[in-house]
Structure 1
Amino acid sequence: MSWLESERASAAATRIVDAAAELYAERGVAAVGMADVARAAGCSRATLYRYFDSREALREAYVHREAQRIAVHVAEEVATVTDPQRRVVDAALAAVRIVRESPTAAAWFEPANAGIAVRAAQHSTVVTALAEAFFGGSEHTDSARWLVRIIVSLLTMPGADPHDERDMLERFVVPVLGFGVTT
């Protein structure tokens, strides 16, 4: 494949994922089919299937892209936080806030779509990206996998307010990660 073909393929895949993201926000993840995405992207279903062989593959591509985007923003927000307890709490809360602020990302955590979000959050690409952002290194993937589950829980069943969510993370999550109890 020449560099021009590669660029075209990348642009086409991006266009398809962008179209899917908009549909996820409008209709909900579970309600979006491949024919809907093909129509919204302005391509045939055959073209769509050339890039993504299933709905799950398309969803995974979207989740991977969003996890990378979120991880970059989280890493930037906690770059100067040196205390590991505070870094984990601030990173988790930043991830929750970033998802909630994005209509396309937030759609994944609506009740009808939560099961899809939970399955997607378990992919190693998501966990690896967020391990870097939360802990500063991919060697913490076990802790990151567990923390991603906590974040998904906060997104699907929010606390009373941001202070309540911070309190829950500080009281229940930080000690489990081996940092000790914070006050």
Structure 2
Amino acid sequence: MAPSTPVPELAPLTPGATRVLDAASRLFYERGIHAVGVDTIAEAAGVTKKTLYDRFGSKEALVVSYLQHRDARWRIHLAEHLSRVPDPGTDRILAVFDAAIAWSDENSPKGCSAINARAEIGDGHDGHPVFPEVARQKTWLLALFAELCQEAGASDADLMSKTMMLLYEGAIVTVGMETFDEPFAVARRLARVLLEQDPARQYS
């Protein structure tokens, strides 16, 4: 999927599956994946464990669905912010950080769900389906930054996009760690400085 069409298409869910996913999403994010069992999820969703397994197959698949649907919501939110700044340039790149500021305040007080899931599962679970899902989400965001930097006329769009990605990822980890207040605002200010110092000087 091209970064310019940022919202992935997901299969529709039955009402029962929606209840399971809503409950799992809240519990996984608030408590962690390992701390929440399928019994707790089923009880919170008001369904049986059989319904949970019938709809998702396994806890691992439910975790992937949780990450996919959360990512889809984020991309809708991001697309709305990008639509407000249609012209290529500094402000359109910074719109990603503006979207993150608004999103983290309301939806991500504990940081990035994908990073948290990847860290919690750890390296001792080779082949876990969460790993490629997290990689897909992060690769997509890097591609979006690359597209925005290319459109803006960056002298080295590859380097600039990776720099923007590092600022973004550093900020979202800092949100979860609560190291200091408003890390995305700090990242945004640094991003502006770097963009305005680009030798191409083609940013608006």
TM-score band w.r.t. shorter chain: 0.5 to 0.7
Letter in 2 for 1:59: V
Letter in 2 for 1:36: T
| Aligned 8 A contact 1:23 1:32 in 2 | yes
1:49 aligns with 2:71: no
Letter in 1 for 2:79: A
| Aligned 8 A contact 2:81 2:98 in 1 | no
1:85 deviates by 2.6
Letter in 1 for 2:89: P
Given the alignment, which residue of 53, 65, 68 partners 2:69? 65
Unmatched segments (≥5 aa) in structure 2: 1-10, 122-129, 149-157
Letter in 2 for 1:39: E
Q: Structure 2: how far apart are the matches of 1:40 and 1:96?
A: 30
Tell me which residue corresponds to 1:155: 172
After TM superposition, the score normalised by the length of structure 2 is: 0.59
Tell me which residue corresponds to 2:3: none
Tell me which residue corresponds to 1:87: 92
Per the alignment, do residues 39 and 94 of structure 1 end up closer, same or farther by CA in structure 2, a change over 3 Å counting? same
Q: Structure 2: how far apart are the matches of 1:100 and 1:114?
A: 22
Listed as ranges, the matches of 1:1-183 within 5 Å are 10-81=14-85, 82-102=87-107, 105-107=108-110, 109=112, 115-116=119-120, 119=131, 120-124=133-137, 127=140, 131=144, 135=148, 150-158=167-175, 161=182, 162-171=184-193, 174=195
How big is the alpha-carbon RMSD for the aligned residues of Structure 1 and Structure 2?
4.2
1:48 deviates by 0.8
After TM superposition, the score normalised by the length of structure 1 is: 0.64
| Aligned 8 A contact 2:81 2:99 in 1 | yes
| Aligned residue-pair number | 164
Q: Structure 2: how far apart are the matches of 1:85 and 1:52?
A: 42
| Aligned 8 A contact 2:74 2:103 in 1 | yes
Q: Structure 2: how far apart are the matches of 1:98 and 1:78?
A: 14
Runs of 4+ in 1 over 4 A off after TM superposition: 110-114, 116-120, 145-150, 177-183
Q: Structure 2: how far apart are the matches of 1:29 and 1:108?
A: 14
Tell me which residue corresponds to 1:138: none
